[in-house]
Structure 1
Amino acid sequence: MNHHADVRDPAPPPPGGILWSIAGDIRMFLMLPPALTMQVAHPAVGAGVDEHSVFRTDPWGRGERSVRSVLLWVYGGDEAAAEGRRLRVLHRTIQGTDTRGRRYHALTPANYAWVHATGFPVYRHAQKYLGRPFTERQERQLYAEWLRVGRILGLRDRDMPQTLEEFWPYYRKVLADELELTRVAAELTAPDQPVPPPDRGPLPVRLLLRVLWPVLWPPVARFRRFVTIGLMPPDAREAIGLPWTAAQERGLRRFGRVVRTVVPLLPERLRYLPAARRARARHRAAGR
C-alpha cells in the first residue's frame, strides 16, 4: 500500500473489468487519435492545446506521456489518484481566450469533463470495428467504470452525467453547441501535417528514421487520418465537419476484420502494453 495515498482517494476501475481488458490492449493506439481530436474540437480545449501544449515540437514525447497517464488511471492502483492530482496541478495555469472570444481555464468543469467524456463514445464506436460490439450490459458497465476514471481525474459527480440516459443528451448538446474544426483538430486530421521523426530509441535507429522519414511519414499520416476520422463516432465526425466516404467506410470495415481476427491471437506480451501486463499478472497472482 502506498503510504502517500489518501484514504479518501477514489478507487480506479476494478481489476478484471472492461477497461482492464481494453485500455492496455495495443488497439488503444487506434482509439486515442479520434478521442484526442474530439477533445481539441472543443474551442476551449483546442485553444488550450494550441497555446500551451508541446504536441507540435515534441509529439512523440507528448504521446508517450498521454499513454502512460491513461494506463495509470486504469492499472495504477494507489498511483492512479496521484496521477489524477498531478494532472490537475499541471493544468492549473492553462487559461486564455478561445476562438469565440470566451475566457477559458483548463480545469473549468465543462471543459475538463468534455476531455474525459470523449473516451466513452470512442471506445463504444471503435469496438464495433476492432472487437466484438458491446452488449447493453457491457456499455453500462463501461460507462460506470469511466465515471470512476473521472473521479480519479478529480471530476465531481455533479460535473459528469451519472447514467447513460443522461450522458447522450449531454453529448449531443456539446456536439451541437461547441464542436468545430479548430486549428488543432485540423492539424491532427491533416494528411500532410509535418511531424518530426521519433527522437527516442537507439541512436542508429533514430539516425535511420531521420534519413527515411520523408518517405515513411506521408503514408503514416494518411493512415492516421483514416483511423482518426473512421473510428470517431459519425455524429462527432459530422459536427466537426470531417469528410468520410462510403469507400472509406468499406476500407475501415476490412481493416477492422483483420485487426479483430489477429490481435486476440497474439500472446499477452505482444497484445498488452507492459504496464497493463504487469498489473494483470499481479491480479492473477493475487487470486491464486
Structure 2
Amino acid sequence: MGKGRQDPVPPPPGGILWSVAGDVRALLMLPAALTLQVAHPAVGAGVDQHSVFRTDPWGRGERSLRSVQLWVYGGEAAAEEGRRLRRLHRTIRGTDAHGRRYHALDPAPYSWVHATGFPCYRHALRYLVRPLTGAEERQLYAEWLRVGRILGIDDRDMPQTVEEFWPYYRRMLADELEATVVVRELLATDARVPAPDRGPLPVRLVLRALWPVLLPPLARFRAFLTLGYLPPDARRALGLEWSDAQERRLRRFSRVVRTLVPLLPERLRYLPLAQEARARYRGGVAARNG
C-alpha cells in the first residue's frame, strides 16, 4: 500500500472464513477451486508455462496452503503476503493457447483466481459442514471481498454483492472458461506425480518404495473429490462428466467426514496457522475479560 494508506484488514475472528478456512475439511475443497481457476485460459497458460506444479507438486501445495492461511489468519502479515504474491506474479506473462497475450496481474484473470473460492466453498460446505443460509452467504462473500483487497484486487474489478456475483460467474462459465491443458492434467488419473518429499526421512523412504502401488488409487480418489466438489454448473460448462453413482459415493464420503471431523481435538481439526491464530484470539479475549 502507498504511504498514508492503511493495509486492508483480514476477515474477522469468529467469521465464516475464520471457522472454515483452517479446518482440515478445507483441504478437500481446494483442488476444486484450483481447477476452476486454471479453466480460465490466461490462468491455465500461466500455470502451464510458469508453475512448478509438475516437478514439485508437494512443495507448491504447501506454499499455496500457507499463503491462503495467512490471508485469513495472518493478522498484520496478511497484507505483506498479498504484496509478496503480487511481486511474484509481476514477471508471469506469455501467450495462451489461443495466441492471446496475458499477464498474471491483468485484472480479469487475477480477479477470477480469487473469485473461484466463493462458489467452491459454498458448494463444498453443503456436503462437508452444512448449507449456508442466505445471510451466511452474504457474510461469506463480504469476507471474501476483504481477502481480495489483501491480494490487491480493486473493488471495481470484483462484484460487490452476492447478487452481482452470480451474473458475473455465469458469464465467465459461458464465455470465458474451458477445459484447458492444466484442467485435464489436474483431473487425470494417470499423471506422473513424484512421491512426497516432505516429512520424516523414514516416512519418505517408505512412501517412495510404495509409491507405484499407492499413486493410482490416490490419483483416482483426488480426481473424484475434485470433480465432486466443483459446483455442478462449472462441471457442465467444462464438459466434465459426473454420474448419479458418483454423486451417491460423494454424499456417503462427505457424511462420514461431516460426522467425524467435529469430534477431533483442535490440534487435529485445525491447520497450524489457524490453531495459532485461534489460540492468540482466545488469549486476547481472556486478557480483556480478566
Within 1, Cα distance between the matches of 2:36 and 2:64? 15
Q: 1:181 aligns with which of 162, 175, 179?
A: 179
Structure 1: any 5+ residue segments left out of the alignment? none
- Structure-2 residue corresponding to 1:211: 209
Structure 2 letter corresponding to 1:275: L
TM superposition shift of 1:89: 0.3
1:17 to 12, 15, 21: 15
Alpha-carbon distance, 1:201 to partner: 1.5
Q: Displacement of 1:179 after TM fit?
A: 1.0
Answer yes or no: is 1:278 the counterpart of 2:276: yes
- CA distance in 1 between partners of 2:16 and 2:121 (Å): 11
Aligned to 2:113: 115
Give the match's secondary structure for 2:94.
strand
Counterpart Cα distance in 2 of 1:181 and 1:126: 21
> How many angstroms does 1:7 deviate by?
5.4
Name the SS for the 1:287 alignment partner. Answer: helix
Partner of 2:85: 87
Q: Distance in 1 between matches of 2:38 and 2:4?
A: 32
- Runs of 5+ unmatched residues, structure 2: none
Q: What SS does the corresponding residue of 2:11 show, helix, strand or coil?
A: coil
| Alignment pair present for 1:191 and 2:228 | no
Q: CA deviation at 1:87?
A: 0.2
Tell me, in whole angstroms, the C-alpha distance in 2 between the residues paired with 1:169 and 1:10. 27
The code of the aligned residue for 1:251 comes to: R
Structure 1 length normalisation: TM-score? 0.97
Q: Deviations over 1:146-185 (max 9, x none)?
A: 0000000000100100001110000000101111111100
Shift of 1:221: 0.5
What is the match of residue 136 of structure 1?
134
Q: Distance in 1 between matches of 2:156 and 2:38?
A: 23
CA offset at residue 99 of structure 1?
Answer: 1.0
- Separation in structure 1 between the aligned mates of residue 135 and residue 17 of structure 2, nearest angstrom: 14
Secondary structure, aligned partner of 1:104? strand
2:56 and 2:156 map into 1 onto residues whose CA distance is 35
Question: Residue 96 of structure 1 aligns to a residue in which SS?
Answer: strand
Q: What letter matches 1:233 in structure 2?
A: P
Q: CA deviation at 1:8?
A: 1.1
Q: Distance in 2 between matches of 1:35 and 1:123?
A: 8
> Where do 4+ consecutive residues of structure 1 move more than 6 Å?
none
| 2:99 alignment partner, one of 80, 83, 101 | 101
- Given the alignment, which residue of 239, 242, 266 partners 2:240? 242
Q: Tell me which amino acid in the other structure corresponds to 1:177.
A: D
Q: Which amino acid aligns with 1:180?
A: E
Q: In structure 1, what residue type is equivalent to 2:68? A: V
State the distance in 2 between where 1:7 and 1:56 align.
Answer: 39
Aligned-partner Cα distance in 2 for 1:261–1:101 = 48
Deviation of residue 16 (structure 1)? 0.9
Residue identity (%):
75
Q: Which residue number corresponds to residue 262 of structure 2? A: 264
Specify the SS of the correspondent of 2:194: coil
Measure the CA separation in 2 of the matches of 1:63 and 1:7.
32
Q: CA deviation at 1:6?
A: 7.4
Indicate the SS of the match to 1:134: coil
Q: Separation in 1 of the partners of 2:145 and 2:176?
A: 22
Q: Take 1:200 and 1:220, find their aligned partners in 2: how far apart are those partners?
A: 17
Distance 1:145 1:39 in 2: 19
AA partner of residue 59 (structure 2) = G
**Which of 43, 56, 59 in structure 2 is aligned with 1:58?**
56
